Amino acid sequence: MDIQFKETISTEEQLREVLGYPTELVTRKTIDHIDSICQSFIEESPFITIATSNAVGQMDVSPKGDPPGFVKILNNKMLAIPDRPGNRKADTFTNIIQNPNIGLIFLIPGIKETLRINGTAQIIRDESILKKLECEGKPPTFAIIVHVKEAFMHCAKCMIRSKLWSTDSEPQERTIPTLAQTLVDHSQMEMDIQELDEAIKNDEETNLY
């Protein structure tokens, strides 16, 4: 059933009437390069999200994780991100080929602020770069090069609200379906869920790099 909304915001003027404007500090916090502060954050980060879009504007956000510092700083305007074994769907890659614009968020466990970087990207296979990105003796097959246009720190409010890094609460039992169950349901394929679950766990243990 379609839902019809009566009060929608369709112009920036309407938005600003309610939201107001950012302070000068906020508007001036964005820089166009990797400085020593951004460098320290990137070198400590084990997890990022990558936002890309195809030629017609369909969006995708992909998580990437590795030991801290897995994203390498080539210079103050350029980053290199390794590609590790996955499902070969390659949404990020196909999007970059069609539309080079890219957005990154860097996270560090326990740190409430995040680092955001925006720019353009390209896919490379230069051996000298892939060598810098190897892990457990295995270089990636591809690397994403990000040409930095914007870099800025994001405040802690979302982390505080979500209690993402909070250790106050006891660990909870999993209440959401497993990946195996989800894949079977969403693909509508006849597969044994237990066998698929075991295959996924085996892949996670033997095919990380």
What is the per-residue pLDDT across 163-176, written as a single tens digit (0 to 9) for each? 999 887 666 788 88
**For range 121-132, the mean pLDDT:** 98
Inter-axis angle of helices 179-187 and 193-206, nearest 10: 120
> Is the predicted pLDDT of residue 177 greater than 90, yes or no?
no
When the pLDDT of each residue in the chain is averaged and rounded to a whole number, the result is: 94
Q: What is the pLDDT of residue 169?
A: 61
Q: Confirm if 124 and 96 have CB atoms less than 8 A apart.
A: no
Give 96's DSSP letter.
H
What is the per-residue pLDDT across 19-75, written as a single tens digit (0 to 9) for each? 999 999 888 999 999 999 999 999 999 999 999 999 999 999 999 999 999 999 999
19-162 — its CATH code? 2.30.110.10
Q: What is the pLDDT of residue 11?
A: 97
Give 105's DSSP letter.
E
Q: How far apart are CA 64 and CA 46, in angstroms?
A: 8
**Chain Cα centroid distance, residue 182:** 22
**Chain Cα centroid distance, residue 11:** 29
DSSP 3-state of 101: strand
Domain assignments of the chain as residue spans, ordered by start = 19-162, 170-209
Give this prediction's pTM. Answer: 0.88
Look-up: residue for tokens 């693909």? 187
